[in-house]
Structure 1
C-alpha cells in the first residue's frame, strides 16, 4: 500500500510540474503555493453572480474547448462541491486587474471589474493543459496600459463579418481591449450611411485592383463589399461582450476618393472621380471651403456615433495633399481669412510637414462637432499642429511625434511604423512569404518597444495611453494572410501592452510563446512559423 501511495504521489508530482502558468502575456506576479493541486473533472461547477453571467458563459465554453468538460453554472454555493468562483472585489484596486487563486479546494477569480474577471479567465484558460492538475498558486495581475489595441484595414481589402469576429476573439486571447476598425479610404467605403446612400452604391465598389506593387497592370475585376448598420452593431456587441471597444475610423479630409466618386460635388474640381485602384496617396481631397462638405461630415459622424458607442472616434487626418486646395479659388479665399496655426512639430523628423491652415480649420470644426456630442476625436500625428489641446494623437511616423505630443499635454497612442506596422514582413528572406509588402519588423523588435520610455518626463508618460499595431491590407488579400502577418508578433505586442518592462525577457517570452501556439493551433489561426523551422514545410521545392 505504501508503495502504491508513493507511486501515485510521484505521478501526481510529474503531472503538476506540467502546468507552470507560463502564459502570454506574462502576469505581473505568479506566486506558487504549497499544498495539493486542483483536479479538473466533471464535478467542478462555476459559481458566479448574475452580473457576471456573460463571463461565466465564456468560462464554460473555454472549459469545453480545452478539456471537454462543460461545467454547470450556479449562483448559489452548495457544500461539498468544488467551484471555479467568479466575483468582482473592491480588494482588487485596478479596474482591469484580477487575482487568480488556485488550491485543492477550488479556483477563485476576483476582478476589479467584470473586465478584470474576464482577463483572469483568459489566464486560467491559457494555463489549462488537458486534465493536468493545476498547482496551487496566487496570480496577481493588472495591465500596464489602458489602450491595448489592434487595427485592421477593411477598405483596401474587405473581410467578412465572421472573420472580424474571429479577429476580435484573437484580441481577447491577448488581453487586448481596443479594435481600431479602418472602414473608409480611397479604395473603398465600407459602412452604410443612410443619408448618403451612394457611399455604398458607388463608393463600396471599385472596377479593378492594381496587380503587384503599383505596376501598370490592373486586374479589371470588380471588387467590393460593405457592412450594413446591423452588421456593424453586431460586431460592436460581439466585441463589447469580450470587453473590447470598437473605435471606428472615418479618414478625412484626405483618403476620401471613394466618397468623392460617390458625391463629386464634395471635391474641389467636381470630378469625375473613380474609386481608387492604386495604393498610396491621392491628390483629390474634400473641399474644405464647401459648406456641403461639413454637412456630409456631420451626417456621417452622426450615424457612426449611433452605431459605435465608443467615446473615441478616429478621424484620420493623415497624408492630406494641399495641391487641390491651392488651385481652388474658394479655398484660397478661405485660407487668407485664417490665422496660421501654431506649429508644434518644428523639431520633428523630415517626414513631418507643417499643417495647412485649411486642414487645421477643417479639423477644428470636426473636433468641435464631436465634442458637442460628448465624444473625443483621435487622429494620426499630422493633426498635431493647430489641433485643440484635448485632441488625442496616434503616433505612426515613429515615436518622436507622439513623444512631442505627450510633452505638450496631448493623450497619445503609440503605433510607430518602426515597430507596429504588421503588414510589413517579419522575416528577412521573403522568397516564400505570402505578401509582397515591403518593410521588415521582426518579432524581437516588436517585443523591444517601450511606448513610454524613461526619456520622457514623468508628466508626459502619464499621457501615453498605450500602443497598438496596424494591419494595412493593400497586400493582405485574404483572411489567412491577415492572421499570418499578425501572428506571432501580436503576442509580443500583447506583452508590451500588458507586462511591466522590468519583467520582460525576450528569451523567456519565446519559450512561453511555443506553448501559446498550441492555442493558436486549436482555434485554427494561421501564423508565421519562422521561430519553429521544424513546423514548416520540410522541402519547399518538393511536395
Structure 2
C-alpha cells in the first residue's frame, strides 16, 4: 500500500511528503491451517470435514473388490516406493467384521452406480477409509488419497477425517506436447503422462508432425522418418540455444507408440495423435516432394513458403495411407489433423489447384482448404473416428462432424459452439500456451515472446459468457499447449509446464465456485512443489516478492518476503547484485530508512533445498521530494524542436552539437524530418501537464536512441518513477535517428532490415496502465 500524506499551506503543498510501504507477506500469506481442499489439486467438488483423524501405518489393511486391479496395484506401489509401507492387500468382503484395533482402507465399486463418469467418493473415518469409484473414478480417488500423504516418508501418517465427493467439470482435460521441433524420448513422455494422470488430466495431445520434423514411423512411407525426421538446428526467432546447422533427428517406432499408448491407457489417459495438414508439412514434403504443387509458369515466388500439400489425388492417397497406420496405433476416437496457418499461395500459383477450384466451383482458397479438410474427415469418419482441427478449419466452412480446438483466441471456439460443434478451448491469449514467458522480466529463460503468468492460466474460464446456456454445452473442455521451438531440453520443458499444469488441472476439473487463486498459489502449491522436487523435476520457483522489478518512493519501507516452497531459503543483497547462497539469509522483516534524495536497492532470491532458484526480485527505494510545478511562458500546443544533421551514436551528443534548423511540432512523431534527414538528431523541449499530485512513471520506447529530462532531471532506465505536483513541468527529449543500412549483397528477397524504433514517450501514475503522452498535455 502506498500513502501520500500532504499538508496544504498558503495554497501550496508543503514538503511534508511521507510514504508508508508495507509488504508484510508480499504475495505469500502464511499457510492456512484450515485448508478447505485438504491440499488437493485440482480442488474437489465437495469436501466436508469431520471430527477426528485416521492413522495410516504399516499395519493398515487394504481391502479391494479386485486386489489385482491396476489402480489398486499403483496405490500399493506408491505406498511401498514412496512411503516404505508394505501393507497387506486382500479381497474386500463387505460381510466380514472389522478387526478391533486395525485400521482399514476399503476400495470398492459398491455405490458407484450413483456416481457420474470419472467421479469418486472418499470417506475418511477414525478407523476406516472407504473409497468408492469405478474405472477412472476409482483411479482419481486414489490420486486424491495419495496427495494426502506427506512427501517425506513417516512411520505413520495422520489423515483428517472428511467426506470428499468429487467429479469433473469437463469431460475433456488435455495437455499437448510438440515433439516435432524438439524430440523427447519415450521415457520423458511417460513422465509427463504420469503427472498428467496424477492431476486428473485425461487427454494427451501428441503433436507428432510439423514442418520441422516427422516423428512417427509409417511403414508404407519410410522416408517420412528417414528424411523428414531430421532437421538442422538453426536459429529460431533470434534464439540461439543450440549450434547452427547440426543434424538433429529422432522418431518413435510403431512398437514405441504402442507402448506409450498402453502406458497412458493404464492411467486413463487417451492419446490423440496430430498429423498436420494441409500446411506445416515441410518435413513430409522434404521426404516426398512430389506432393507439392508445381508452380505455373511465370509465378512470382515459386519456391517461397511451399509447405502445403497440393490437393491432388496422389496427396489424398498418401494421407489416407498415413492415417490408416496412425489409426491402427491409436484407439482414440479423435484424430487431430491440424489445419492451421496455411499459406495458400502455392495453391494460387498452381495450375492444377486453380483448375480444381473451377471444377469444384469453389469461391476461393479458403473453400479449397475446407474441401481438403472435409475430404479427410469423410475418410476418418468412415473408420469410426472423428477429427479435431485448430480453429482455422472454420475458414471456408466447417467440416460436418469436426471438433474445433480454439487457439488464436476464444472467437473460433465461440463461433464453433454457435454452430453446434464441440469445442476445446486452448487460447494462446488466456494463459494456455505454456511456451510463453511467465513474466516480462529479462531474467526469464528465452521463450516465445508472449506472456502467460500463472495467475493468467489459473483464472481462465473456458466457458465464455458470450455463449447462451445451450451453446455453452458444446464447450467440452480445455487444453494447455507446449510448443517447443524454445524448449530444447527436458529441464526447460518441465520449467515451462510446472506449475502451470497444476492450474490447468483446476481449470478443467474444478467448479469455478471452488477456485481461489490466492489459496491455490499461497497454500496448496507448497506440497506439490515439494513433490516435484522429490522427483527431481524442474519447475519455476516463485519469487520472494510478488512484484519482480519495481520502484517505490518514500523515506521508510518494511519488507517480509516469503516462499511457498517447504524448506526454501531466501537470500538478499543491498549492493545491486543478484543474491547467491553466500549472501545474507532473510530471517525477520527488514525495515529501510532512506535519507532524502538517496536510494537503496533491495534484491531477493529464493533457493530451494535442491538448489533451484527463483528469479531475483529488485526493489529500488527512492526518497525524493516532489518536483514543484512551474509557470510556463506560453500555452501553445506542442513542443519546440531543433534538428542536428549528421550521424550520432548517443542522444547526449546533441547537447554539444550545433543545430541546423528549428521549428514547432504537435508531438514527437515527426516523420517528415526523418524523410528529409537520413541521419539526424532532434531535441524537443517544452512543458508537460500533470493532472494530479502523484508518483509518475516516465519511459521511452528506446533508451538507446533517446534520453528524457523532467524539470532538468535525467530519467534513467529502471529509475523512471518521479513524484510530481499537479501542473506544468519542463520536458526535454533528445532523439537520434540513423537510417537503416541496405541489405548485404546476396541477401534473400525476404531479408528483414532492422529499423530503429520510432520515438514514443510514456507517462502514467504508479500502479496504472502505461499510456503514451498525448498532444493535449504538451505546451511550449
Q: By the TM > 0.5 criterion, same fold?
A: yes
TM-score by length of structure 2 reads: 0.62
Please say if 1:46 is aligned against 2:62.
yes
Partner SS for 1:265: helix
User: In structure 2, how many angstroms separate the alpha carbons of the residues matched to 1:138 and 1:521?
Assistant: 29
User: In structure 2, how many angstroms separate the alpha carbons of the residues matched to 1:187 and 1:106?
Assistant: 55
More displaced, 64-73 or 521-530? Answer: 64-73
Partner SS for 2:277: coil
Q: Which residue of the partner structure matches residue 505 of structure 2?
A: 494
Gaps of 5+ in 1: 1-15, 271-280, 342-353
RCO comparison, higher one (Cα < 8 Å, 6+): 1
Partner SS for 1:528: coil
Partner SS for 1:152: strand
Tell me by how many angstroms 1:405 deviates.
0.7
TM-score by length of structure 1 reads: 0.88
Please say if 1:443 is aligned against 2:454.
yes
Q: Which residue of the partner structure matches residue 373 of structure 2?
A: 363
User: In structure 2, how many angstroms separate the alpha carbons of the residues matched to 1:506 and 1:297?
Assistant: 45
Aligned residues: 501
Q: Which residue of the partner structure matches residue 83 of structure 1?
A: 104
More displaced, 135-144 or 71-80? Answer: 71-80
Cα 1:52–1:147, aligned 2, differ >3 Å: closer, same or farther?
farther
Comparing both structures, which one devotes a greater share of its residues to strand?
2
Q: Which residue of the partner structure matches residue 412 of structure 1?
A: 423
Matches within 5 A, 1:368-383: 368-383=378-393
Partner SS for 1:57: helix
Partner SS for 2:485: coil
Comparing both structures, which one devotes a greater share of its residues to helix?
1
Is residue 388–residue 405 contact of structure 2 (8 Å, CA) maintained in 1?
yes
TM-superposition CA deviations, 1:101-120 (whole Å, max 9, x none):
11122211111x31001111
Q: Residue 425 of structure 1 is aligned with which of 426, 437, 448?
A: 437
More displaced, 76-85 or 504-513? Answer: 76-85
Partner SS for 1:136: strand
Q: Which residue of the partner structure matches residue 41 of structure 2?
A: 24
Partner SS for 2:129: strand
User: In structure 1, how many angstroms separate the alpha carbons of the residues matched to 2:537 and 2:279?
Assistant: 34
Please say if 1:473 is aligned against 2:476.
no
Matches within 5 A, 1:314-353: 314-340=336-362
Is residue 251–residue 317 contact of structure 1 (8 Å, CA) maintained in 2?
yes
TM-superposition CA deviations, 1:33-72 (whole Å, max 9, x none):
23x4211111123222238610111111222344221323
Q: Which residue of the partner structure matches residue 392 of structure 1?
A: 403
Is residue 214–residue 228 contact of structure 2 (8 Å, CA) maintained in 1?
yes
Tell me by how many angstroms 1:409 deviates.
0.2
Q: Which residue of the partner structure matches residue 33 of structure 1?
A: 50
CA RMSD in angstroms comes to 2.3
Q: Which residue of the partner structure matches residue 310 of structure 2?
A: 287
Tell me by how many angstroms 1:312 deviates.
0.3
Gaps of 5+ in 2: 1-32, 296-303, 546-562, 572-576, 582-780
Tell me by how many angstroms 1:482 deviates.
0.7
Partner SS for 1:222: strand
Please say if 1:110 is aligned against 2:132.
yes
Matches within 5 A, 1:262-301: 262-269=287-294, 282-288=305-311, 290-301=312-323
Q: Residue 173 of structure 1 is aligned with which of 179, 183, 198?
A: 198
More displaced, 438-447 or 48-57? Answer: 48-57
Is residue 380–residue 395 contact of structure 1 (8 Å, CA) maintained in 2?
yes
More displaced, 42-51 or 361-370? Answer: 42-51
Partner SS for 1:30: strand
User: In structure 1, how many angstroms separate the alpha carbons of the residues matched to 2:67 and 2:337?
Assistant: 35
TM-superposition CA deviations, 1:394-432 (whole Å, max 9, x none):
00010111011101100000000112110000122132x
Q: Which residue of the partner structure matches residue 74 of structure 2?
A: 58
TM-superposition CA deviations, 1:211-268 (whole Å, max 9, x none):
66278x9711000100000101111111111100000000101011100010111111
More displaced, 516-525 or 232-241? Answer: 516-525
In the TM superposition, structure 1's runs of 4+ consecutive aligned residues that sit over 6 Å from their partners are 16-20
User: In structure 2, how many angstroms separate the alpha carbons of the residues matched to 1:515 and 1:179?
Assistant: 25
User: In structure 1, how many angstroms separate the alpha carbons of the residues matched to 2:544 and 2:61?
Assistant: 38
User: In structure 2, how many angstroms separate the alpha carbons of the residues matched to 1:296 and 1:114?
Assistant: 38
Q: Which residue of the partner structure matches residue 266 of structure 2?
A: 241
Is residue 53–residue 160 contact of structure 2 (8 Å, CA) maintained in 1?
yes
User: In structure 2, how many angstroms separate the alpha carbons of the residues matched to 1:361 and 1:329?
Assistant: 17
Is residue 122–residue 129 contact of structure 2 (8 Å, CA) maintained in 1?
yes
Is residue 157–residue 473 contact of structure 1 (8 Å, CA) maintained in 2?
yes
Is residue 23–residue 516 contact of structure 1 (8 Å, CA) maintained in 2?
no
Please say if 1:305 is aligned against 2:327.
yes
User: In structure 2, how many angstroms separate the alpha carbons of the residues matched to 1:68 and 1:267?
Assistant: 59
User: In structure 2, how many angstroms separate the alpha carbons of the residues matched to 1:269 and 1:531?
Assistant: 54
User: In structure 2, how many angstroms separate the alpha carbons of the residues matched to 1:231 and 1:390?
Assistant: 31
Partner SS for 1:50: coil
Q: Which residue of the partner structure matches residue 657 of structure 2?
A: none
